[in-house]
Structure 1
Amino acid sequence: MITLEYKLKGKPTQYRIIDDTIRTAQFVRNKALRYWIDNQNVKLSDLYKQCAIMAKEFEWAGKLNSMARQASAERAISAIQRFFANCKAKKPGKKGYPQFKKRSRSVEYKTSGWKLSPDKRRLTFTDGFEAGTFKLIGSYDLHFWTPDNIKRVRVVKRADGYYAQFCVNVTRTEELSPTGRAIGIDVGLNHFLTDSNGDTVPNPHYLRKSEKALCRLQRRVSKKKKGSANRQKAINRLGRKHLKVSRQRKDFAIKTTPGVVKSSDFVAYENLQVKNMVKNHKLAKSISDAAWSQFTQWLQYLGNVYGKTVVAVAPQYTSQDCWGCGTTVKKSLSVRTHVCSCGMVLDRDHNAALNILAKGLKQVGMTLNTVGYTGINAWGQTDLYSLVVTPTSKPTG
């Protein structure tokens, strides 16, 4: 499944209708959740029946396409299933009990309620709200796929406008020649990432660079009268700035990840629990600004696309253990150089990346040596890979 996004260009009255559609989808989702709370052990089919009852009970809810109502009910059941999955897995902390939505920003259609023009450049909504026809602004060409391939159309409201996302039922695969290389990646705050070869990628710090502008826009919001049009405009400007920062992070991840995946047949990275790490209030902003989770998600996705093996390993002791001899060398976050009694002197992150690579290879049944490793490559063939690792300083003696 791939997602193609376009910006919707229409009239202000059409945008207001889209807002009504989003609020209605939120209402259906919340009503479905309330029905589950009052009647435990209900199934998705029961929520579908409730959607039909809602359409008869509330005239404005009946304007929403029937499949769009079902998609809203599916969002409720998805939250419920996630809650039970967390309970079954005994996830520490809060389990994520389903909550009622207050400010939804999207509505989802399935295979009906919308129609594409013959030239695939215009989208018309055909449900009871009658939002009309919107021009699609984007560079993707929908002519490659038939309407049968488009399984869902999602309308998303953002600070800078309204967007349509087409979910196309197609598997993206690309073939690359095996490189015979493996790599371990350590993400951090000093450098965005350091690999097992000692190469680093600088941290862009998009949020830090935009802090002054964000603070200025936030002050303007606070000075405006609540409920006024000027306050709403100030809020929109602030939202646009935050949106730009989030897009910069996403663009950075998209541009950084392909080089990592394409250059190696095997990629190992730390399975960091970012949600727990941001509880450290001294580092929370910097960790959020780095967007490690987004980067690792793209690693997994592109690993599937290019047929590469991408493995997540436990992060425990990757920075403390010596890659040369395995001895644990305790060090605080302020210590950036790993110095071991065996003579190994490495940058802290480089040492961690080597340990991550060794853990990843061990996890999939491979062995790591300074001259190479034998195992099964990403293409399922047994072969001998030459893995050359050159640390800053080798052990003496």
Structure 2
Amino acid sequence: MSESLQTGDVQTRFLKLDEFARLFEVLISRGYEVIGPTIDQEAIVYGPLSSIDDLPRGWTDQQEPGRYRLVKRDDNAFFGYVVGPSSWKKQLFPPVATLTRADRTEEGWQFQEVEEETPRYAFLGVRACELAAMKIQDRVFTGGPYTDSIYDQRRRQALVIAVNCTQAASTCFCTSMQTGPRCKTGFDLALTELSDGFLVEVGTAVGAEILQDLDTGDISPEQETRADAARQQAVDQIERRFDTTDLKDLLLSNLEHPQWDDVAERCLSCTNCTMVCPTCFCSSVEEVSDLTGEHVERQRQWDSCFNLDFSYMNGGLVRNRIRNRYRQWLTHKLATWIDQFGTSGCVGCGRCITWCPVGIDLTQEVHAIRESQS
């Protein structure tokens, strides 16, 4: 998390395609592990990259509720897709993390803190909604009296190279959440892809240092016009609207609404929505022993409020029905999250809609409750 430049200090340069290829060399020479979009198992996911050849060049995604498909583009765009099932949460808040270790000795159990080298990531291809998600998780993990050291160290080391969206999926609603599609803050560098290169906005001093290692040129009026048109194209393609007016009060005053029963008949409680969500942070802690019983590790693992046992306490389950678990997820995400962290927990990326096996759309569920009140 580098300190952002003042508005007057922000500069924009043009980066040709061959120099964009050299960006990987620059990042790796500075000790970064580049993480970005690549194709795996017929989806665009975030993983390690070594060169531009690992990027999903010439591919895009078609998304609808409960449906995701890759299709070829009619050009060779590197970032001509929306967002896939993975998010940067995986790198900043790892799915499994060892917190402490203990070994049985002749003197008894000896505990030791886990000391692991913090990875130095360069995130390439971060979208505006994902920048908003990082800001939300910053508040969750570092904004209160307790700081999660694993998240904090990884976040501080990370370099963020954002990419402005030039197209949208049918499941996107970032404009309703005021989180995109234009990247405005929270990045070291931000790219807008054109056919012959990239417009690069510098957001921090660290970003400026990296750009100095590359051969860039001035921005022409024609390039600026094309970039504006490309970014506006994403805005124009967003058709899904989500009315957030008095959303917290709407949900919390309708906890017994029949719509919760309706959605429960469709929901599989599969946890997909929470796994793909870039802001969900539920976890559980377990003691994991080896086969000898001489070595034990305390591990934190991703969990979900949709799991039946997640609400187990005092000898019983608090939320033993799918209706209650879906209501907990939605009201926390859109209402009580505001009480906890001062903001909604939703950034409008649409992942939960696309990756729900039965195509449940949270915007439609809230709309149904709102319509019944009018």
Larger-Rg structure: 1
- TM-score class normalised by the smaller sequence: under 0.3
TM (normalized to structure 1)? 0.22
TM (normalized to structure 2)? 0.23
